[in-house]
A = this chain, B = another copy of it.
Amino acid sequence: MTVLLTGFEPFDGDTVNPSWEAVGLVPGVRAVQVPCVFGAAVERLREAVAEHDPRVVVCVGQAGGRADVTVERVAVNLDDARIPDNAGRQPIDEPVVRGGPAAYFATLPVKACVAAARAVGVPASVSQSAGTFVCNHLFYGLMHLIATERPDIRGGFVHVPFAPGQVADRAAPSMPPALVAEALTAIVTAASSMDGDLRLVGGSLH
């Protein structure tokens, strides 16, 4: 079963993006880098899907400040950029897809993905928001593609912490890309093999 993973190029002044570092360490998958640019990120994803014809697609992005690997549950139809993207665009309160539904749920088994990462010893949890920047934009673009054109694909998004070298002089949480890659490997295995999700507690009070 072909699995496609995408990681982002660096943004916000950084020279590395841990999502791309980690994706490159996952064995047996197609790994594609996407630009941190509204619009162009989704275009690159669509090209990669057309080229590799995957059955599972997991887009991966950096969530600086989070301490664990988070499997995103829901993509919202909203671009609201706190900083400009790598092309200098900063959309405020615009839809990702005009006329699209307010949100899509990931079709990965998110609870099983979290359980799989934890089973290999990597801190992980379900996240209820992928933000409103390019990560959510790409996630929504993926789910819209699946919903409208490629219902045979199972798709979702995973956020990963800073790499240690990015925050050596800050007290921010970090995780080595090699450890993130172990979680991603477990996640794509779970996503490739399961029908339906596990019934596990994983909600958020707020």
Contact = CB atoms under 8 A, between A and B. Distances in A.
A71 B46 CA distance: 34
B175 A174 contact: yes
Contact of A179 (B62, B171, B176): B176
Copies of this chain, how many?
A: 4
Contact of A205 (B67, B124, B133): B133
Contacts of A92: 199-201, 203
A132 interface: yes
A10 to B, nearest CB: 14
Interface in A58-99: 61-68, 73-74, 76, 78-83, 90, 92-93
Given A92-B199, A105-B102, A204 B133 contact: yes
Contact of A204 (B129, B175, B179): B129
A125 B92 CA distance: 15
Contacts of A93: 111, 197, 199
Interface of A: 12, 61-68, 73-74, 76, 78-83, 90, 92-93, 101-105, 111, 117-118, 121-125, 128-133, 135-136, 159, 164-165, 167-176, 179, 197, 199-206
